[in-house]
């Protein structure tokens, strides 16, 4: 699971968005490196953010973060299909009735409950590829 810091901009922290082209290059490079070492590879889409909480905590207005994240997830889907790599979608987080409980108060990081749910998805998917 990579890309949250690549796909969003946090003005308060001074982070810059990484271009889709560079992000795709980086993911492909990581995949090649992992394959070189014989690792089983499992990609997980970038998790969405809770826009209202994100805005408040990172002094960002515009509500574009999830749109950006969607573009990076589309790139991941393309790479996963092209490289025949398993990909776990992250849509279940934003579709969850208790989405706010799955996130810390910053709207970006998963809470203990969210991490537990994430781990369950990861374990289920990982057992299918090894």
Among all chains, which residue has been given the structure tokens 């982070």?
15
Taking a C-beta distance cutoff of 8 angstroms, is the pair 32, 40 a contact?
no
pLDDT band at 115 (very low <50, low <70, confident <90, very high): very high
Backbone angles phi, psi at 73, to 5 degrees: -65, -35
Per the CB < 8 A criterion, the answer to whether 61 and 43 are in contact is no
CA distance 68 to 4: 10
Residue with the larger pLDDT of the pair 40 and 11: 40
Structure tokens at 43: 């990609």
The per-residue pLDDT for range 46-102, each reduced to its tens digit, is 988 888 888 887 766 666 778 888 999 999 999 999 999 999 998 888 788 888 889
| Contact predicate 55/12, CB 8 Å | no
Query: Is the pTM value of this prediction over 0.75?
Result: yes
Check residue 24 and give its pLDDT.
94
Q: What span, in angstroms and rounded, lies between the C-alpha atoms of 4 and 107?
A: 12
pLDDT value of residue 9: 63
């Amino acid at each position: 699971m990579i890309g949250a810091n690549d796909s969003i901009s946090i003005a308060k922290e001074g982070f810059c968005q990484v271009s889709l082209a560079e992000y795709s290059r980086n993911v492909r490079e990581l995949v090649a490196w992992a394959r070189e070492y014989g690792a089983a590879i499992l990609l997980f889409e970038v998790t969405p953010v809770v826009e209202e909480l994100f805005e408040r905590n990172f002094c960002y207005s515009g509500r574009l973060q999830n749109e950006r994240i969607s573009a990076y997830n589309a790139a991941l889907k393309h790479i996963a299909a092209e490289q025949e790599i398993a990909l776990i979608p992250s849509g279940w987080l934003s579709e969850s009735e208790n989405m706010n409980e799955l996130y810390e108060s910053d709207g970006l990081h998963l809470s203990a409950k969210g991490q537990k749910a994430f781990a369950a998805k990861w374990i289920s998917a990982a057992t299918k590829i090894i």
